[in-house]
Structure 1
Amino acid sequence: MSVTAPQGFEAAGVAVGLKSTGNPDVAVVVNRGPLKVGAAVFTSNRAKANPIIWSQQVVADRTVEAIVLNSGGANCFTGSFGFQTTHQTAEKAAELLDVSASDILVCSTGLIGTGDEAFRAKVLTGTEQAIAELNADGGAAASEAIMTTDSVSKISTYQRDGWTIGAMAKGAGMLAPGLATMLVVITTDAVLTPVEADEHLRAATRVSFDRLDSDGCMSTNDQVSLLVSGASGVEPEAEAFRLGLIDVCTNLAVQLQADAEGASHDITIQVIHAASEDDAVEVGRSVARNNLFKAAIFGNDPNWGRVLAAIGTTRAEFDPYDVDVEINGVRVCTEGGPDRPREDVDLTPRATNVTIDLRVGEEAATIYTNDLTHDYVHENSAYSS
């Protein structure tokens, strides 16, 4: 049920021809209340798509009635025409829902730099059709409508003590941190204040989507939105809700990692015994973005020297000659030197786990990435053709 698992939400996904596949390409999620609380985090890319510029204004007062999403076109670098398209999309939804356009979030995903009258007409038609088809079981269709190069839709739910969280996500490429990664819509029927919703969302994205670094490329359209209906009437304990939200966000991040374009290995990099959490993140990310390391994993080569070379470029506190590296349960490096033979490491499974022990403190962090494959290069070389 995805985003319609919590009480107080309806959704729909429809096909209007934005995608050549004929699959659903416009989704609408509506919060029926009684609360209409909204929070969102956005890409930190200075190059922002028109829906991001619009939605940043909408969420400022923490009131959100609905969100309209389209795939098949990013509506980015499309000038004033593109911003007018986003504005008209919100106005169309507001008119049909009898609410204010300033309370409608808008998201788009697809190819950058394209958009014309036909695109606008299809988005507006899709918005109208989706609102006409809104229902409490529409979460699955909505999650399919936001897919682009995704091979599967991504959904997650969490239930506890009378309240529920539901979510959907899209993303298979351009997965790199910037407060958010890809498009995500999260709903909950818990009772939260606007401040609580914003704080919980930022805390959850910080340790989930912000730690997903599949290819080091940051999108112009990334947005994670949280809509709060309060329909359960339950005010959850803060820590319990935050842990539930982290669970949902991490689950979606791992699903996105598993569907990364052309990847053959899902690499989980755990950095332990760091002097600070920031150090652990910096070290893990340096490995996740190292193309030599990622190519080695693609070739089933446990080349731990590339790990040490990568972390040596960071400003983190550690002694490079006192670091341990473990790959898929085999410690191949200890104190900056060889340990067990490389041939002891089995890299044939898709799941690949790398543990880096900095041996200087008590902090840790986990980064999620993928290998660098021929298929990734092929898919992205032909993306717009």
Structure 2
Amino acid sequence: GGANACTGPEGFADTHHTAEAVAEQLGIGPIDVGVCSTGLIGERLDMPKLLAGVRSALSTAHAEGGHAAAEAIMTTDTVPKTSTFEAGYRIGGMAKGAGMLAPGMATMLSVITTDAVIDAADLDATFRDCVAATFDRVDADGCMSTNDTVIVLANGASGLPADDRFAEGLHKVCADLSRQLVADAEGASKLIDVRVVGAASVADAEDAARAVARSALFKCAMFGEDPNWGRVLSAVGTTSAQFDPLHIDVAINGVMVCRDSGPGESRDAVDLSGRDIEVVIDLHAGDDAVTIVTTDLTTDYVHENSAYST
């Protein structure tokens, strides 16, 4: 694939040409076609190959083609990513992305569809809330790029109006897809929930959690299965979040290794041998909390990205 970014007017025209080709095949307007691109920056799309793929995909499209579509959009992903929710009406989604996962989402692409009957403005507002709490709170490597897309489409085909369960279902699909993205992040061996609690505001909680999630030293410690709470405190200290530096607690996989900004229970009690890790940081400054989902930093990640364009 190609990002089709930094390709000038020609790249812009390629996007329009793609939309027009799809629209012609479907008998709709080009404005109703969403075009998503990801890959190397600065290189033109191979339009003959792309348009041949469009024709092939449309000729074989069918109602059960969701899994094939999820596989087709994979790049450095190792597994396709899909999620569904049903409440009479259905919500389904697919996503791709294994590197450069950080708000605004970077090389992630996701398409979510529903057959519920819902007003466009209501769908937009609900979707933005869901994205803010899910896709915007994953951070595999702190890196962003020129390309990210998350789209929701509704056709009302079920005839059933979106009820009180719709927002819950849409959030579930977004949360599921976002966790799948991080779990399959390039080279990752750990899936890490960094949760900040007791913050003075949501902004403070997110700032502190993201600082830890993006810390190369913290991520390396998790790769080495080293419950080094000093890496956590040093990252939190770089933020503008409100807290008393003498009263921070840190628990790693349920073990309070840091209490009141000093040693707590023995690090030896922490088991980091599994894939899933939870780090809870209590700022004791308020009642707000945020979780950022991240990964460790591995030698495989370095190898994969050192050879990306070659």
**TM-score bin, normalised by smaller chain:** over 0.9
Within 1, Cα distance between the matches of 2:66 and 2:240?
44
Across the aligned residues of Structure 1 and Structure 2, the Cα RMSD in angstroms comes to 1.2
Kindly state the Cα deviation for residue 200 of structure 1 after the two structures are TM-superposed: 1.0
The equivalent position to 2:42 in structure 1, one of 100, 110, 113, is 113
1:232-266 alpha-carbon deviations (Å, 9 max, x no partner): 111122x4211111111110111111101001111
Q: Structure 1 174/298 Cα, relative in aligned 2: closer, same or farther at 3 Å?
A: same
Kept in 2: contact 1:182–1:219 (CA 8 A): no
Residue 206 of structure 1 pairs with residue 135 of structure 2: no
Q: Which residue in the other structure is 2:62 paired with?
A: 135
| TM-score normalised by length of structure 1 | 0.79
Taking the TM superposition and a 5 Å limit, the aligned residue runs for 1:93-108 are 93-108=22-37
The equivalent position to 1:366 in structure 2, one of 284, 291, 300, is 291
Kept in 2: contact 1:181–1:209 (CA 8 A): no
Within 2, Cα distance between the matches of 1:181 and 1:336?
37
Taking the TM superposition and a 5 Å limit, the aligned residue runs for 1:188-207 are 188-207=114-133
SS at match of 1:105: coil
| TM-score normalised by length of structure 2 | 0.97
Q: Which residue in the other structure is 1:223 paired with?
A: 149
Taking the TM superposition and a 5 Å limit, the aligned residue runs for 1:26-37 are none
Taking the TM superposition and a 5 Å limit, the aligned residue runs for 1:248-287 are 248-287=173-212
Kindly state the Cα deviation for residue 181 of structure 1 after the two structures are TM-superposed: 6.4
Equivalent pairs counted in the alignment come to 310
SS at match of 2:101: coil
The equivalent position to 2:253 in structure 1, one of 318, 321, 328, is 328
Question: Which amino acid in 2 is paired with 1:359?
Answer: H
Q: Which residue in the other structure is 2:96 paired with?
A: 170
Within 2, Cα distance between the matches of 1:180 and 1:241?
27
Kept in 1: contact 2:100–2:106 (CA 8 A): no
Question: Which amino acid in 2 is paired with 1:152?
Answer: V
Within 1, Cα distance between the matches of 2:247 and 2:307?
44
Kept in 2: contact 1:268–1:369 (CA 8 A): yes
Within 2, Cα distance between the matches of 1:188 and 1:86?
25
Q: Which residue in the other structure is 1:156 paired with?
A: 83
Within 2, Cα distance between the matches of 1:233 and 1:181?
35
Within 2, Cα distance between the matches of 1:219 and 1:212?
15
Kept in 2: contact 1:109–1:146 (CA 8 A): no
Q: Which residue in the other structure is 1:64 paired with?
A: none
SS at match of 2:93: strand
Question: Which amino acid in 1 is paired with 2:40?
Answer: L
